[in-house]
Chains A and B, each alone.
Chain A
Amino acid sequence: MAASGRLRGWLPIALVVVAGGLLALALRERYHHRILTLVLLWATMGLAWNIISGYAGQTSFGHQAFFGIGAYVTVLLILKAGLTPWLGVLAGAMVAVAAAVLIGIPTFRLAGIYFALATLAYPLILRIVMDFAGYQEVAIPMARERPTLFMQFAEPRAYDLLALGVFAATLALSHVIEGSRLGYSLVALRENEQAAEAAGVDTFRCKMLAYMLSAAPAAIVGAVYAHAILYVVTPEAAFGVLVIVQTLVVCLVGGAGSKWGPVIGAAVMVPISETLDATIGDRVPGIQGVVYGAALVLIILFAPEGLYWRVRGLLGGRRPAPTSSAPAPPAAAPVTGGPAVIGGDLLVVGEVSKAFLGLQALSDVSFAIREHEILGIIGPNGAGKTTLFNVLNGFLVPDRGEVLLRGRSVRGLRPSAICRRGVGRTFQVVRSFPRLTVLDNVMVGAFVRDRQRERAEARARAALGVVALSHRADAAPTGLTTLELRLMELARCLAGAPTLVLLDEPLAGLSGDGVGVMIELIRRLRADGTTVAIIEHTMQALLRLADRLVVLDQGRRIAAGAPADVTRDPAVIEAYLGTRWLRHAESLRT
C-alpha cells in the first residue's frame, strides 16, 4: 500500500513533464517556444523559492542573489576560462550554495519580517559590486564551432528541453522533500518554530539545508536563463527587482507551500504577461510590471492562499479519511498495579539561576528527578515553574548552575538535541502545527527516532493509539477539543520515545472527565517506564498522582519531598496553599 501510494505521487509529476516535452515538440513558432521556456524556467525559480519560503516559511525577498550568481559565474567562467557552461552551471550552483551558507549563518538568527528585510540587502550589494567591478554588460561569446558544447542552440526546442530538464529535477526534488523528514520538519518549524524545536527538529539546521537546496536550482535557472533568453548578462537582469517579483508572482498566484503552486502560477502568469508584452509592449512600456502588480493585488485580495489551495479547498479539500468514521477506541485500561520501582537520579538540577533583566526568575534551584517517578512541581503564579522547564529542555540557558541528564551536562544544548537525548515536553498552552493533520503533527515527533517515513508513521500511529486518539488521525488540529489537543501534543512528545516527559499544566482547561483521562494516561506512562515531571495548579490531582513534590516560590525551591510532608510544611502553606488548606487537610485526615 505504501509503495503504490508512493508511485501515485510520482504519476502527476511524470504527466506534467511528459506534457511539457510533447508541447516542446509540437510547438512550431519560435515565439511560442520562448514562452514555454520561460514558463518552465519561472516555474523552476518558483519551486526553488518555495523550498525555503513556502515549506519553511522563511520569506526571502533576496532570492535573485542566487539566480544572479548562477548567471554570472557561468558566463564569467566561459569568458575567463573557456569553461563549457554545462560544467559552469554546476560551478554556479556550488557558489550559490556556498553563498547560501554564508548568508544563512548570520541571517537565520533573524525571524519573520527581519529575515525577509535582511535578505533584501544581499542582491542589492551584489548588484552594486558587479556594476563596480566592470561587469555592467557581459555578453556571452558566440561559439560557432561547438555550439552545443556552449549551450548555444539554433533550434529553440533545445532550450525548451533544457529548461524542462531543470524543471523536472526541481519538481522531483520538491516532491521528495514534501514526503521526507526534512519536509515535515520545515512545515513544522514554519507553523510553530518553538514547538518544532521542542519536538526534536533542529530548526537552524533544517532551515540551512532548505536554503542550500533552494539556492542550487535558482542558480541553475539563472545560468540557463542567461543562455536561453538574455545573451547579455547585466546586474539589473541578474540581480534586479524584476527577478524576485516574477518569482513571487508565480508562487503567490499559484500558492506557496505546495510544489504545484509555482507550476500553476507560472503556467498562468507567464503566458499572459508575455503575450501582452508582445502585443502592446511597444506602445505601453512597463505593461508586464502592471500585470504582475495587478496579479499580486488581486490574488491577495481574493485568494491570498493562491490558486492551488483555493481550488483544492473548493474541490472538498482533503480526501475523506477511511478511519474518521470509526468509533473512538476504548481508552487504555486503567493502571491499578503498584508504581514501577523508582530508581536513581535521572536528571539533576544543580543550583540553577536565571534572571530576565531585573527579575530573578530562578535562584539556586536544586533538585533531582528520579527514574520512573512522577514528580510534581507546584508554586504560585510567577514562581518560575515554566522558566524551570524552559531551562530543562534547553529553551533557556541558565545564568548559573548545571542540568545533568544521566550525569552528563545538557547545558547550552539546543532543545532539539535535548529532545533527542530523551527529554520530551508539552506546553502550558498547546502548541500544535495547525496546518498539519493530527497524524502529521505526531509524525514530526516520531522522526526523532526514525528518519524513514513509513516507520515514523507507524511510530506516530502507535503513539496516537497510546493516547486513544487514533480515530482523529486525519483531522485538523483546529477542529479538536482541548482534551484532544492536549492528547495530540502528548502523543507528539511520546512518539519520540522520551525517557523523561515534562508536562506543563497538562490538566489546564480540561473538564472533570478529561482530567480523569489525562491522569490515567500519566499513570500508564509511568507504568510503561517513562519518568514524568508535571507542573500543575490542581493540587488535588497532583496529590493523587505525584510521588514527590517540589515547591517553588519566587524562583526559590522552598520545599521538596513526599506530598504528605510537603503539604504540611509551614513555608509551603504560607507561600502557596494558604491556611484554609491546612484546616481542609486536617479535616480530611480526621
Chain B
Amino acid sequence: MAVAELLQYVVTGLLVGGVYALMSIGLALIFGVMRVVNFAQGDFMMLGMYLTYYLAVAWHTDPLLGAIVVIILTLGLSLIITNVTTMVLSPMPRGIKTAYATRAFALGAVLVNEARAYAFLMALLLAAVVYAFLTRTDLGKALRAAADDPEAAAYQAIDVRRMHALAFAIGIALVAAAGGLLATYHPIEPTVAVNFIVLMFVAVVLGGLGSVPGAFAGGILIGLVQSLTLLVLPFQLQNVGVFIAFLLVLYLRPQGLFGRRLRSV
C-alpha cells in the first residue's frame, strides 16, 4: 500500500477526529462534574447544527436542568428533542453548500478538504480555550474541584450546584459548537444525534470517563479508527471498527486509555 494513501486516511481521520474531540470533551465535562451520562448530548449537537443552519447568532441554554438531570432524564430529553425537531423542521436532510466544502489543499500527495481543515482548526482552538479555562482560571479550578470531590469542594465555599449548571452549560455549548462545525460538511437531519452520541460515548470511554484531555484524545482516536477502518473494511462497516475498538478498550482497560480512577460509588 502506498504511503501516501495511508497518510491520506490518517489526515482525514485526524480532521474528523478534531471535531469528535470537541464534542466529546463536552460530554466528558458533564460526566466529570455531574456524574451523569448525558444521552441528550447528541441532540444538542444536532440543534447546534440547525442553529448554524439558520444562522442563529444568539442562543441560550437554561442551566437550571443541571442539578437534576440523570441518565434517563437526558434520554427522555433526547427523544423529545429529536422528535420535536422532526415535527418542526421535517425529517428531510439538509446541507449547507459552501465554496470550501468541495475545495481541498494539496499537501504533497495528500488532499486536505478545506471545510474539514477549518472545522478541525476551530475545534482545536475551542478545545485549547476550554483547557486553559479549566486549568488557569479560578472558576475552572472550582469546576474541577467540584468534579473531584463535591463534598470537599462545598467545604471550600464552592457552590457545587452552580458548578453542575456551569458544567452542563459549557458541555452543551461545546457540543453545539461542534455541531456547528460539523454542519459545514455533514448533512443535517433530526436523527443525526443517534449516530454521534454513540461516537461521543466511545471517545469518552476511550479517554477514561470524565477526563477532559482523555476525551479529546479519544475523539481524535475515533476519527483515526473510523478512517483507517476503511483500509480493511467496506465503507458501510466503518463504524464497526469503532465499536470493536470501543469494546476492546472496555474489556482490556475499563478505566480508559488515559483514565483516572473513578470514585468508587
A-B contact count (CB 8 A): 107
Please determine whether A290 and B83 come into contact, CB atoms closer than 8 angstroms: yes
Please determine whether A297 and B80 come into contact, CB atoms closer than 8 angstroms: yes
Please determine whether A290 and B236 come into contact, CB atoms closer than 8 angstroms: no
Chain A CB within 10 Å, residue with most, of B78, B250, B265: B250
**Is A110 in the interface zone, CB < 8 Å from B?**
yes
A110-B250, A285-B91, A292-B79 known; A120 vs B201 contact (CB < 8 Å): yes
A124-B198, A128-B239, A285-B91 known; A245 vs B75 contact (CB < 8 Å): yes
A285-B86, A286-B83, A290-B84 known; A132 vs B234 contact (CB < 8 Å): yes
**Is A341 in the interface zone, CB < 8 Å from B?**
no
Please determine whether B76 and A117 come into contact, CB atoms closer than 8 angstroms: no
Q: Mark A265-297, 1 if CB is under 8 A from B, else 0.
A: 000000000000000000011111110111111
Residues from chain B with a CB closer than 8 A to the CB of A290 are: 79-80, 83-84, 87
Other-chain contact of A289, B83, B205, B239, B246 (Cβ < 8 Å)? B83
**Is B10 in the interface zone, CB < 8 Å from A?**
no
**Is B243 in the interface zone, CB < 8 Å from A?**
yes
Expressed in whole angstroms, the minimum distance between the Cβ of A375 and any Cβ of chain B is 30
**B248: nearest residue on chain A (CB-CB)?**
A106
Please determine whether B77 and A297 come into contact, CB atoms closer than 8 angstroms: yes
A106-B247, A121-B246 known; A294 vs B84 contact (CB < 8 Å): no
Please determine whether B237 and A114 come into contact, CB atoms closer than 8 angstroms: no
Chain B CB within 10 Å, residue with most, of A292, A293, A295: A293
Please determine whether B247 and A121 come into contact, CB atoms closer than 8 angstroms: yes
**Is B6 in the interface zone, CB < 8 Å from A?**
no
Secondary structure of the B contact surface, majority rule: helix
**Is B251 in the interface zone, CB < 8 Å from A?**
yes
Residues from chain B with a CB closer than 8 A to the CB of A129 are: 237, 240
With the chains together, A77 CA to B75 CA distance in Å? 35
**Is A125 in the interface zone, CB < 8 Å from B?**
yes
With the chains together, A198 CA to B150 CA distance in Å? 31
Please determine whether B243 and A124 come into contact, CB atoms closer than 8 angstroms: yes
Residues from chain A with a CB closer than 8 A to the CB of B239 are: 124, 128
**B235: nearest residue on chain A (CB-CB)?**
A132
With the chains together, A319 CA to B198 CA distance in Å? 45
Please determine whether A284 and B87 come into contact, CB atoms closer than 8 angstroms: yes
A-binding segment of B66-74, B116-124, B130-138, B151-159: B66-74
With the chains together, A112 CA to B71 CA distance in Å? 13
With the chains together, A296 CA to B87 CA distance in Å? 19
A106-B247, A118-B247, A286-B83 known; A241 vs B91 contact (CB < 8 Å): no
With the chains together, A283 CA to B244 CA distance in Å? 40
Please determine whether A113 and B237 come into contact, CB atoms closer than 8 angstroms: no
Expressed in whole angstroms, the minimum distance between the Cβ of A132 and any Cβ of chain B is 5
Please determine whether A128 and B76 come into contact, CB atoms closer than 8 angstroms: no
Please determine whether A285 and B87 come into contact, CB atoms closer than 8 angstroms: yes
**B84: nearest residue on chain A (CB-CB)?**
A290
**B201: nearest residue on chain A (CB-CB)?**
A117
**Is A300 in the interface zone, CB < 8 Å from B?**
yes
In residues 115-134 of chain A, which contact B (Cβ within 8 Å)? 116-118, 120-121, 124-125, 128-129, 131-132
Residues from chain A with a CB closer than 8 A to the CB of B84 are: 286, 290
Please determine whether A300 and B73 come into contact, CB atoms closer than 8 angstroms: yes
Q: How large is the interface on B (under 10, 10 to 19, 20 to 34, 35 or more residues)?
A: 35 or more
Other-chain contact of A114, B91, B202, B205, B234 (Cβ < 8 Å)? B205
Please determine whether B80 and A132 come into contact, CB atoms closer than 8 angstroms: no
Please determine whether A301 and B247 come into contact, CB atoms closer than 8 angstroms: no
Residues from chain B with a CB closer than 8 A to the CB of A125 are: 240, 243-244
With the chains together, A128 CA to B209 CA distance in Å? 26
Please determine whether A294 and B80 come into contact, CB atoms closer than 8 angstroms: yes
Residues from chain A with a CB closer than 8 A to the CB of B250 are: 107, 110, 114, 117-118
With the chains together, A253 CA to B173 CA distance in Å? 31
Please determine whether B251 and A106 come into contact, CB atoms closer than 8 angstroms: yes
Other-chain contact of A241, B76, B81, B194, B202 (Cβ < 8 Å)? B194
Q: Mark B18-54, 1 if CB is under 8 A from A, else 0.
A: 0000000000000000000100000000000000000
Other-chain contact of B75, A107, A128, A248, A286 (Cβ < 8 Å)? A248
With the chains together, A296 CA to B39 CA distance in Å? 12
Please determine whether B76 and A286 come into contact, CB atoms closer than 8 angstroms: no
With the chains together, A300 CA to B205 CA distance in Å? 25
Other-chain contact of A131, B81, B202, B236 (Cβ < 8 Å)? B236
Q: Mark A338-376, 1 if CB is under 8 A from B, else 0.
A: 000000000000000000000000000000000000000
Residues from chain B with a CB closer than 8 A to the CB of A284 are: 87
Expressed in whole angstroms, the minimum distance between the Cβ of B241 and any Cβ of chain A is 10
With the chains together, A389 CA to B134 CA distance in Å? 42
A109-B251, A121-B246, A284-B87 known; A300 vs B201 contact (CB < 8 Å): no
**Is A69 in the interface zone, CB < 8 Å from B?**
no
Q: Mark B197-212, 1 if CB is under 8 A from A, else 0.
A: 0100110010001000
**Is B254 in the interface zone, CB < 8 Å from A?**
yes
Residues from chain A with a CB closer than 8 A to the CB of B251 are: 106-107, 109-110
Q: Mark A17-57, 1 if CB is under 8 A from B, else 0.
A: 00000000000000000000000000000000000000000
Q: Mark B79-123, 1 if CB is under 8 A from A, else 0.
A: 111111011000100000000000000000000000000000000
**Is A418 in the interface zone, CB < 8 Å from B?**
no
**Is A503 in the interface zone, CB < 8 Å from B?**
no
**Is A439 in the interface zone, CB < 8 Å from B?**
no
With the chains together, A294 CA to B237 CA distance in Å? 34
Expressed in whole angstroms, the minimum distance between the Cβ of B19 and any Cβ of chain A is 20
**B204: nearest residue on chain A (CB-CB)?**
A117
**Is A252 in the interface zone, CB < 8 Å from B?**
yes
Please determine whether A289 and B79 come into contact, CB atoms closer than 8 angstroms: yes
Expressed in whole angstroms, the minimum distance between the Cβ of B68 and any Cβ of chain A is 7
In residues 390-415 of chain A, which contact B (Cβ within 8 Å)? none
With the chains together, A29 CA to B243 CA distance in Å? 45
Please determine whether A293 and B243 come into contact, CB atoms closer than 8 angstroms: no
Q: Mark B218-253, 1 if CB is under 8 A from A, else 0.
A: 000000000000000010110110011011001100
Expressed in whole angstroms, the minimum distance between the Cβ of B251 and any Cβ of chain A is 5
Residues from chain A with a CB closer than 8 A to the CB of B70 are: 300, 304
With the chains together, A116 CA to B246 CA distance in Å? 13
Residues from chain B with a CB closer than 8 A to the CB of A289 are: 79-80, 82-83, 86
In residues 93-112 of chain A, which contact B (Cβ within 8 Å)? 106-107, 109-110, 112
Q: Mark A298-311, 1 if CB is under 8 A from B, else 0.
A: 01110010000000
With the chains together, A293 CA to B81 CA distance in Å? 9
Q: A-B pairs with the 10 shortest C-beta distances?
A: A293-B79, A296-B76, A286-B83, A289-B83, A293-B80, A297-B76, A286-B86, A293-B76, A121-B243, A300-B73
Extra pairs beyond A293-B81, A293-B83 (5, CB < 8 Å): A117-B250, A284-B87, A290-B87, A293-B75, A304-B70
List 14 A-B pairs, Cβ < 8 Å: A107-B251, A114-B209, A117-B37, A121-B246, A124-B239, A128-B239, A289-B82, A289-B86, A293-B75, A293-B78, A295-B76, A296-B75, A300-B72, A300-B76
